[in-house]
Amino acid sequence: MRTAIRDAWVLTQDADRNIIRGDVLIEDERIVSVGDVGSDVDVEIDACGDVVMPGMVNTHCHVAMTVMKGSVDDLNFPDFLQKVFKVDSGRTDDDIAIGSKLGLLEMICSGTTTFVDLYYSQDVIAEAVKESGLRGVLGWAVLDEEFTTQSGKPIDNCRRFCQRYAEERKIIPAVGPQGVYVCGKETWEESSALSMEAEAPLTFHLSETRGEVNEHQRKTGMRPVDWLDSIGVLHERCLAAHSAWLTINEVRALGRAGASISTCPVSNMKLATGGVAPIPEMIEYGVTVSIGTDGSSTNNSLDMFAEMKTLGLLQKSSRWDATVTSAQQLLDMATLGGAKAIGMESSLGSIEPGKYADLVILDGKSPNLRPLLSQNLVSNIVYSGNALNVKTVFCQGDMLMRDRKVITLDADKVMDDSEEVWMKLCSRN
């Protein structure tokens, strides 16, 4: 199948960050040419004046929790955790599937084509991801047995999941140690070993709150990053979410290890956990920076456009420096940075021949994006763009949405079912 997207502004995100006016040709799963692609095609999409950009990569979320949206708002962090744990403890496979589909639907509609998840029951989530057509990097939550509600040993559950889904087309199994607060040295070592054995990402929460850092330092005498480094589990497969409470020495350690972080500004601001991730220093010391939304119980949204803008404004405001985290850097973090963080930079993150056709078409007639010129296109997407601008979405050559109509999921049913689940879950509070 050959599909041509015609006469668009193409935001290539290639090495030179070229922006061209022309066509994109997709053949089966991949981009085969950019520019003037000729007429030998099966499907044509008239994108005159629209914008074609790479699909965004959300590097930290809990997609099954989307159905809990609006149930635990405006609470201080300890009260928030208590309510979430109560709701989460009695979830069923059915409501996990419905919550996942709602989150997947939102991501399709807002231009995300790949996401990284951290949760249990990833086998249930994986089936929803397959139905949606998105790409899921699915980290099975691993923690010490004394803290888990999972049946069986979490690391063994994770191993079985990695084995079962190793050959799925758009499912990338990952190992998900929950964090230093529920994972001891043995659990971290087993998780890291499984990550290496399965060639899977190792994704986890890290230094999200000051309390987490202080408690770990009290117990071990070391800050979390320093401790992970000392036990030999910090390496290039690591993708650490939040990473807000770090010293410069910890940033250097992450850089030396080749690790990546997923910064989640909206979640941390909404929960008032304080701390601003030291993004400029991370960039300086070679840490790969990507962006995550976190789950909808903390963020309420999986909109990466909103996350890009908020991240930029938070960094500028907190440093009294409007030059940090430029629009181009923010877009890089949402595309190329996300691809590199999951080890797929050779396949994702830019619009170049040979890469997977993960593409998003934005409506160039949207007033919030105008005036639209090559000179202001990146800034407009980052600072003016929003999910409502998304018209059409491809993931690995599969068209998931065309002209704002989702093809892969029954949107009305998913949304209707989600309200029944919300009422059931929240009756436990």
At 233-284, the pLDDT tens digits run 999 999 999 999 999 999 999 999 999 999 999 999 999 988 899 999 999 9
What pLDDT digit, counting tens, does each position of 20-62 carry?
Answer: 999 999 999 999 999 988 889 999 999 999 999 999 999 999 9
pLDDT tens-digit series, residues 115-172 = 999 999 999 999 999 999 999 999 999 999 988 888 889 999 999 999 999 999 999 9
Strand order in the sheet with 288-291: 56-61, 112-119, 135-142, 171-177, 202-206, 238-242, 260-263, 288-291
State residue 91's pLDDT score.
Answer: 84
Q: Could you tell me if 356 and 396 are in contact, meaning their C-beta atoms sit under 8 angstroms apart? A: yes
Q: How confident is the model at residue 428 (pLDDT cuts 50, 70, 90)?
A: low
As beta bridge partners, residue 56 has: 112
Tokens 């320093």 correspond to 226
Q: Which domains does the chain have, with CATH numbers?
A: 2-55+353-406 (2.30.40.10), 56-341 (3.20.20.140)
Percent pLDDT > 70 in the chain is 99
CB-CB neighbours of 320 under 10 Å: 7
**How would you classify the pairing of strands 30-35 and 19-27?**
antiparallel
Q: Residue 233 is encoded by which pair of tokens?
A: 């589990």
| pLDDT tens column, 65-112 | 998 888 788 888 888 888 887 777 778 899 999 999 999 999 999 999
Residue from 29, 62, 53 nearest 327 by CA = 53
pLDDT at 429 over 90: no
Looking at residue 150, its pLDDT comes to: 84
Alpha-carbon distance of 263 to 93, in angstroms, equals: 29
Three-class DSSP category at 18: coil
| Rounded Cα distance, 207 and 222, in Å | 12
375 has a pLDDT exceeding 60: yes
Residue 135 has a pLDDT of 98
User: How many angstroms separate the CA atoms of 262 and 139, rounded?
Assistant: 14
């991501």: which residue's tokens?
A: 107
Coil vs helix vs strand at 2: strand
